[in-house]
Each structure stands twice: as structure tokens, then as C-alpha cells.
């Protein structure tokens, strides 16, 4: 451990294990020298793992603030890095691969971030392939405990997701700053790993100690990656060691990051980015919201995201979206963080024991628009759906509902789905809009799904309903009957159409209403 109050000769010790590949080492050192005008003082420690090419001669020709350690054989990355750590005279360890090319301010940016918070233990850089594709922006654990670099190999270097400071469970040691005194300074890497996953193991140990492992997007380094001889010879054994040691102690987190970044899995196995800007989903930019779309939800974030994207695509009336989450335990919370604080969105959270009645009361109380529509996540909307509903709201009308796929009643679409030869939901909606424009049926009951009502009226009705009135076993339509009981008319709009989906989307189902 680090001696308290010790005065270090340098701000950082840059530790570079090398094994042959002399041209790469020379390129790496030249880049460090070219970018040496920063604030941080540093030394370079080169650990030669038994090189048999021109590397010994290259190292012998060097001078300056550097140390050279020579091994007769290749001891591996972990052992060489530990040797460098033991020889280091800097305040911070900086581990760097010899097949990297650093850029301006790379070291100062890492040190500044590391010293900005005493809780930070490790800082990792943004790594790019020579062609500009992303090589590293943090390490994540995916399904079946697959450990990967997030977005590696993708043309996302300029994407907002990889250009913000972010905590991860691990970062790569291809370019990593480690503060002293957190793990054993004499042996930070576990030498049981042989050229693979020793950096992830180190990060896990640091994270388990309560320190932060942080990605620094402003420290940019180019990385040729995996050019070292024997780099993958022990990959399976290294992975199995890591998994035995840490599975159950470190969580699978890839989906959390993907959701936060606007990537979603629709149906099948592939994640797709939806070109997603939450601001773009709010169409009321020209004025105040006329509608509040209230979405009560619990778990099943995929159904929720389909709903929100469909609303963003097809809802043209200036509106706000109010999501009331009743204690979701899946990735819904991560998904909703995308919208937190965004104009046009309100996120409310209630206890998991809350029923639909309590969720709707919460949503209506949060609403700022004069008219609300109840939108369950499983409801798929169609073009102009809300404008057609709103057109039927007149004096004396207390509730309007769309046609939908329900058995019997005024809202049953019945044979309308097959009318005019239309086959898609959008085509059927367009047919209904032309043939039934402005038509409605008066009824004594409307489904809660898709119900449009004046906000103040709905708030008053919800306040009078008894607990459990909207429980899953109830017959439905309780809200509309209470509205009618106050002397208001109920209308089923014959020109507005929605579809109530199964709660879980079928595997491989289409991403209707998602422009990917």
C-alpha cells in the first residue's frame, strides 16, 4: 500500500510491457514524446518480455525519464505490469499497451478525472482503431456473462453515448490509470491470468472495494489491438477463471447501458439504435400541451418502448407523456431514465403494490393538459388516432374511446379490420378515417384502454372510485360508467383505431411504428 504523505517524483508512471513488435513500440514512444507538453510529469517504464527482434537494441538506444526492465522469457502482461508497478516512482500507475498511439492531452485528461473525486480508483481511456472505429468505451457483461467492450468495432466515435464520463464495472488496461493504495501496489494484477482478463479482474476488485471505475472520453488513444504474440492462447482458461471468481458477484449490465443509450431489442436477438432523441417525440414544441397521455406500467420495458415510439410517430396533437411506474424490477427503470427531466415527459413512481386506480390518480395529478388519454403500454396506436378522438369531444361528452380488437360492444372493430382490402393496421386506420370520418356511436360503457376524458372530470371520478375498483378481475368500464353517472355522454369513435397487443411481444414480431 501507499505510504501516507509520500512525495512522488512523478505524477504518473507509464508502464509499457513489450514483446517484440519493435516498430509498434517506437511509434508508441514517439507519440508519448510528441504529446509530452502537458501539465503532468511522468516517467516511462518499459518491461521487455524476452523480445527476440530489434526491441533490445531499440530500448538500449533510449534516454530520458525512463526505466528498462528485461526478462529472459515472456512472463505475460500481468507479471510484466507488476514488475513495472514495483519499480514505479509516480503517484499514479498508467498501464499502456505498446501497440497504442496517444493523442493530445491524453494523460492530463485521465489524471484530472482521477483526481476530481477521491472515490475514483481506475480511469480508462477512449480507444479507437486506426480506421477510426471504436475499440473501447467501457467493458460490459452481456447475456450468459459475456465480457465485451461496448460498441467495439462500430462507427460511433462521435456518438453522444461514448463522449460522456461514465462509470463501468471494468475498463481495459490497454490504457488504464490506477490510483495507488487501493490494491496491492506491488502486485496489482493477478498473475494467474495469462494475457487476458487480468484487467477486468483488477477492475472488479477495485469496484468491490467501493471505488469507482470510470471511462474518460476526452483521453483518446489509437489502438492496433491484439498484435502481441500469443495474445489469445489462453483466452478460454482466462475467461473461465474470471467467471468462476466473479459470476454472482458482478452483474450482467450490458442491457442497462444499451437502454440508456437508446438501443432496443425488438422481438429477436439484435439490438438496434432507433436514432432516438426524446425531445423529438414531444410534438408540442409550438405551444402548451393539449393532451396528457398517461401510461401506467410495471415491468416489460420492451412493450413500453414500443408504445412510446408509436406515440412519438403517430401523435400529432401537442401533448405530454406521463409514465407512472409501479415498482418495476426489470430494465424499465433504466429505460425511463432516458426521459427523466425531458420536456414533454413526466415520470412518476409508485409502490409496486399500487393498482391501476392508484396509478391513474397519480398520472392525472401530474398532468398539465386539459384532456387526458389512458394509454396502456400494450396499446398500439395508428396515424391520427388522438386527433380523431379529440374531434368527438364536445359539450356534454365526458368520454371518448377508439375502436379496438375487443369482443362485442360499441368499440368492437368487428369486420372493420378486413374492410376495403386493407391488410396493415395503418391501412385499416386510413380506410376508417375516410369512410367513418366524424362518425361515432353513443354507448353506456367504454373500455379504460384508450379512454379520452377531460382531466378535471376524470380526476373527480377517480377520487370517488373505491379501492380495487380497477383490479385485474374487475369487468372493466368502471371509469366510463362513473362518468356517465355524472350525466355525461360516452362516445365510441368509429374513425379512430387502436390495437391491444399481447402483454409480451412475440419472438421475431415486427417493429411496427419503429423507424430504425
Read out DSSP for 250-267? Answer: B---HHHHHHHTTEEE-S
Q: Does 295 lie in the same domain as 210?
A: no
Q: Does 272 lie in the same domain as 253?
A: no
| Spatial separation of the C-alpha atoms in residues 328 and 376, rounded to whole Å | 15
Q: Are 378 and 502 in contact (CB under 8 A)?
A: yes
| Spatial separation of the C-alpha atoms in residues 68 and 29, rounded to whole Å | 13
Q: Are 96 and 14 in contact (CB under 8 A)?
A: yes
- Indicate the number of domains in the chain: 2
**CATH classification of the domain holding 22:** 3.90.550.10
| Spatial separation of the C-alpha atoms in residues 133 and 496, rounded to whole Å | 46
Q: What is the pLDDT of residue 22?
A: 95
| Spatial separation of the C-alpha atoms in residues 383 and 359, rounded to whole Å | 27
The sign of the dihedral angle between the CA atoms of 30, 33, 34, 35 is: positive
| Spatial separation of the C-alpha atoms in residues 445 and 443, rounded to whole Å | 6
Domain boundary among the residues 258, 286, 321 is at: 258
- Taking Cα atoms as reference points, which of 215, 204, 203, 206 lies closest to residue 134? 215
Domain boundary among the residues 258, 292, 313 is at: 258
Q: Does 441 lie in the same domain as 392?
A: yes
Q: What are phi and psi of 17, to 5 degrees?
A: -75, 140
- Taking Cα atoms as reference points, which of 120, 154, 132 lies closest to residue 261? 154
- 342: left (phi > 0), else alpha (psi -120 to 50), else beta? beta
Residues 6+ apart with CB under 8 A from 443: 409, 410, 411, 490, 491, 492
Q: In b/e form, how buried is each residue of 147-157, taking b as 16+ CB within 10 angstroms?
A: bebbbbeeebb
- Is residue 112 situated within a structural domain? yes
Domain boundary among the residues 258, 292, 315 is at: 258
Q: Are 429 and 483 in contact (CB under 8 A)?
A: no
Q: Does 114 lie in the same domain as 228?
A: yes
Cell of 29: 514512444
- Is residue 26 situated within a structural domain? yes
- Is residue 505 situated within a structural domain? no
Q: What is the pLDDT of residue 5?
A: 53
The pTM of the whole model exceeds 0.85: no
Helical H segments across 102-181, by residue range: 106-114
| Burial of 506 (C-beta count, 10 Å sphere; 0-12/13-18/19+) | exposed
- Is residue 225 situated within a structural domain? yes
- Is residue 507 situated within a structural domain? no
| Spatial separation of the C-alpha atoms in residues 487 and 263, rounded to whole Å | 47
Cell of 215: 471511462
Q: What is the pLDDT of residue 422?
A: 59
Residue range(s) defining the domain that contains residue 266: 262-500
Q: Are 283 and 322 in contact (CB under 8 A)?
A: no
Residue in the block written with cell 378535471: 456
| Spatial separation of the C-alpha atoms in residues 198 and 309, rounded to whole Å | 41
Residue 103, helix vs strand vs coil: coil
Residue 43, helix vs strand vs coil: strand
| HSE, side-chain direction, 13 A CA sphere, residue 257 | 22
- Taking Cα atoms as reference points, which of 291, 467, 285, 473 lies closest to residue 393? 291
- DSSP string for 495-510: EEE-EE--SSPPTT--
Q: Does 471 lie in the same domain as 421?
A: yes
Angle ∠(429,431,433) on CA atoms, nearest 5: 70
| Spatial separation of the C-alpha atoms in residues 230 and 50, rounded to whole Å | 13
Cell of 117: 473525486
- Is residue 5 situated within a structural domain? no
Listed in order, strand segments (DSSP E) in 224-285 are: 263-265, 271-273
198-208 helix and 77-87 helix, angle to the nearest 10 degrees: 60
Alpha-carbon separation of residue 163 from 136, 254, 262, 264, 462 (angstroms): 12, 17, 15, 20, 45
- Is residue 235 situated within a structural domain? yes
Q: What is the pLDDT of residue 415?
A: 54
| Spatial separation of the C-alpha atoms in residues 268 and 315, rounded to whole Å | 27
Q: Does 271 lie in the same domain as 254?
A: no
Q: Does 186 lie in the same domain as 87?
A: yes
How do strand 489-497 and strand 371-374 relate by DSSP bridges? unpaired
455-464 helix and 478-485 helix, angle to the nearest 10 degrees: 100
| Spatial separation of the C-alpha atoms in residues 309 and 383, rounded to whole Å | 13
- Residue 462's DSSP bridge partners are none
Q: Does 312 lie in the same domain as 201?
A: no
The rounded average pLDDT for each run of 10 residues, N- to C-terminus, in the chain (516 residues) is 66 96 95 88 96 95 92 95 97 97 96 97 97 96 92 90 95 98 96 95 97 98 75 85 95 85 57 51 59 93 84 89 92 81 87 91 95 95 94 96 88 66 77 90 94 97 89 72 95 93 44 22
Residue 176, helix vs strand vs coil: strand
Q: Does 150 lie in the same domain as 286?
A: no
| Percentage helix, strand, coil for the chain under 3-state DSSP, each rounded to 5 | 30, 25, 45
- Is residue 159 situated within a structural domain? yes
Q: Does 392 lie in the same domain as 273?
A: yes
| Spatial separation of the C-alpha atoms in residues 468 and 474, rounded to whole Å | 8
Q: Are 96 and 175 in contact (CB under 8 A)?
A: yes
Residue in the block written with cell 469507482: 212
Q: Does 303 lie in the same domain as 245?
A: no
Q: Does 267 lie in the same domain as 244?
A: no
Amino acid at each position: 500500500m501507499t505510504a501516507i504523505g509520500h512525495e512522488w517524483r512523478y505524477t504518473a508512471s507509464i508502464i509499457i510491457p513489450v514483446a517484440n513488435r519493435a516498430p509498434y513500440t517506437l511509434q508508441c514512444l514517439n507519440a508519448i514524446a510528441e504529446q509530452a507538453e502537458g501539465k503532468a510529469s511522468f516517467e516511462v517504464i518499459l518491461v521487455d518480455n524476452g523480445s527476440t527482434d530489434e526491441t533490445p537494441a531499440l530500448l538500449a538506444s533510449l534516454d530520458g525519464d525512463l526505466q528498462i526492465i528485461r526478462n529472459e522469457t515472456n512472463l505475460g502482461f500481468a507479471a510484466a505490469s507488476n514488475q513495472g508497478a514495483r519499480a514505479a516512482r509516480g503517484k499514479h500507475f498508467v498501464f499502456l499497451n505498446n501497440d497504442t498511439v496517444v493523442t493530445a492531452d491524453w494523460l492530463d485528461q485521465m489524471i484530472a478525472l482521477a483526481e476530481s473525486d477521491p472515490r475514483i480508483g481506475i480511469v480508462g481511456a477512449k480507444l479507437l482503431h486506426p480506421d477510426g472505429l471504436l475499440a473501447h468505451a467501457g467493458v460490459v457483461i452481456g447475456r450468459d456473462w459475456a465480457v465485451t467492450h461496448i460498441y467495439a468495432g462500430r462507427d460511433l466515435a462521435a456518438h453522444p453515448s461514448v463522449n460522456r464520463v461514465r462509470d463501468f464495472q471494468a475498463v481495459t488496461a490497454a490504457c488504464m490509470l490506477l490510483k495507488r493504495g487501493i490494491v496491492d501496489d506491488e502486485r496489482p494484477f493477478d498473475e494467474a491470468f495469462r494475457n487476458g482478463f487480468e484487467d477486468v479482474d483488477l477492475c472488479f476488485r477495485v469496484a468491490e472495494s467501493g471505488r469507482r471505475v470510470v471511462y474518460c472520453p476526452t483521453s483518446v488513444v489509437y489502438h492496433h489491438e491484439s498484435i502481441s504474440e500469443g495474445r489469445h492462447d489462453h483466452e478460454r482458461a482466462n475467461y473461465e477463471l474470471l467467471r468462476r471468481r466473479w459470476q454472482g458477484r458482478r452483474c450482467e449490465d450490458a442491457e442497462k447501458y444499451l437502454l440508456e443509450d437508446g438501443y432496443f431489442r425488438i422481438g429477436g436477438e439484435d439490438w438496434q439504435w432507433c436514432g432516438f432523441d426524446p425531445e423529438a417525440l414531444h410534438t408540442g414544441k409550438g405551444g402548451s400541451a393539449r393532451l396528457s397521455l398517461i401510461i401506467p406500467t410495471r415491468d416489460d420495458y420492451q412493450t413500453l418502448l414500443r408504445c412510446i415510439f408509436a406515440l412519438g410517430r403517430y401523435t400529432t396533437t401537442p401533448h405530454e407523456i406521463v409514465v407512472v411506474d409501479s415498482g418495476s424490477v426489470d430494465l424499465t427503470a433504466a429505460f425511463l431514465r432516458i426521459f427523466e427531466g425531458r420536456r414533454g415527459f413526466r415520470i412518476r413512481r409508485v409502490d409496486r403494490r399500487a393498482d391501476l386506480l392508484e396509478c391513474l390518480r397519480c398520472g392525472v395529478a401530474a398532468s398539465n393538459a386539459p384532456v387526458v388519454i389512458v394509454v396502456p403500454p400494450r396499446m398500439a396506436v395508428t396515424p391520427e388516432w388522438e386527433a380523431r378522438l379529440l374531434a368527438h369531444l364536445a359539450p356534454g361528452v365526458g368520454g371518448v374511446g377508439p375502436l379496438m380488437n375487443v369482443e362485442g360492444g360499441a368499440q368492437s372493430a368487428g369486420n372493420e379490420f378486413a374492410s376495403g382490402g386493407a391488410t396493415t393496421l395503418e391501412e385499416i386506420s386510413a380506410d376508417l378515417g375516410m369512410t367513418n370520418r366524424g362518425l361515432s356511436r353513443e354507448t353506456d360503457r367504454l373500455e379504460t384502454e384508450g379512454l379520452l376524458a377531460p382531466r378535471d372530470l376524470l380526476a373527480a371520478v377517480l377520487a370517488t372510485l373505491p379501492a380495487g375498483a380497477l383490479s385485474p378481475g374487475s369487468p372493466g368500464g368502471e371509469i366510463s360508467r362513473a362518468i356517465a353517472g355524472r350525466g355525461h355522454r360516452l362516445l365510441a369513435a368509429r374513425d379512430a383505431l387502436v390495437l391491444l397487443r399481447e402483454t409480451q411481444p412475440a419472438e421475431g414480431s415486427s417493429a411496427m411504428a419503429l423507424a430504425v
